[in-house]
Amino acid sequence: MSTDSPAPRHVPVMLERCLDALAPAISAPGAVVVDATLGLGGHSEALLTRFPDVRLIAVDRDPQALELSARRLAPFGDRATLVHAVYDEIPRVLDESGVPEVHGVLFDLGVSSMQLDEADRGFAYAQDAPLDMRMDQTRGISAAEVLNTYSHGDLARILKVYGEERFAGKIASAVLREREREPFTTSARLVELVRNAIPAATRRTGGNPAKRTFQALRIEVNGELEVLDRAIPGALDALAVGGRIVVMSYQSLEDRLVKQYLQAGATSTAPPGLPVIPEELQPWLKLLTRGAELATEEEIEENRRAAPVRLRVAERIRRTRR
């Protein structure tokens, strides 16, 4: 990609809410904040602008996103450190940066605007494109390879678990039948296959019937849930006392995982009825949202990608033994 092409217009999801949630933790001089999902850098740019003393460490697995964000954040100089890494590698990134603890962490999960808008990435089911779906195109297997090589059982499993697809078995059977005729390479053929495999009554509701299949393939290709399962504990472990974590999820599997970790940290592990609770059994997180917050109608009207978002915020209230 040419280095002088402008960055695409990017509307960060729930930007003001994220900044307000992090503000009490990162307003003091010397504060360090991690943007675990840099993307096109909209949240990072706003953080660096709003909080002039903050230092940013941002990671992304997508080299193209890093290239675009590096230009966007160049005016902030050495206040911004950008690293090509997956967000479960945050502990290593912090260690290599000489940062023992941080004061804020932001996760904006799911597919970035750039990845959805770039047709040749294959994330969007509304346009024909190569079936890739890798967030980092320098490594791993593509969605086409999954479709063309996985067994019926494995395909049905990921469609059912990751896509919450009721007709996973029927779709998997159709994929195996069709790939014998010709391997899958582009998205339009898969969209048509899913449409034909699902009963007509179901096709009439719930949007594009291929949505769940595409979600499942994307999660499988990028190992998203396994990565998140490592990333949230790693990020929480890096938080200083008084530090805050903000996580925006876009589908129920992600949000459920995030909720479990935050609630576990905010819950006493003492046996019931214990008259005095030792400090090591007391909660070490405080939940700052009641359940998951949703985007406002006004924000959804301005940015349709905010519609499914679920935002959770927590603060570290005491140290724990590492």
Cα separation, 208 vs 226, in Å, equals: 27
* 57-91 per-residue burial string, b: 16 or more CB within 10 A, e: under 16: bbbbbbebbbebbeebbeebeeebbbbbbbbbbbe
Q: Judge contact between 146 and 216, C-beta under 8 A.
A: no
Q: Which residues are annotated as a binding site for S-adenosyl-L-methionine?
A: 41-43, 60, 87, 108, 115
* DSSP line for 246-276: EEEESSHHHHHHHHHHHHHHTS--SPTT-SS
Among residues 71, 64, 3, 73, which one has the least CA distance to residue 43? Answer: 73
Q: Which residues are annotated as a binding site?
A: 41-43, 60, 87, 108, 115
* DSSP line for 76-137: GGGGEEEEE--GGGHHHHHHHTT-S-EEEEEEE-S--HHHHH-GGG---TTS--BS---SST
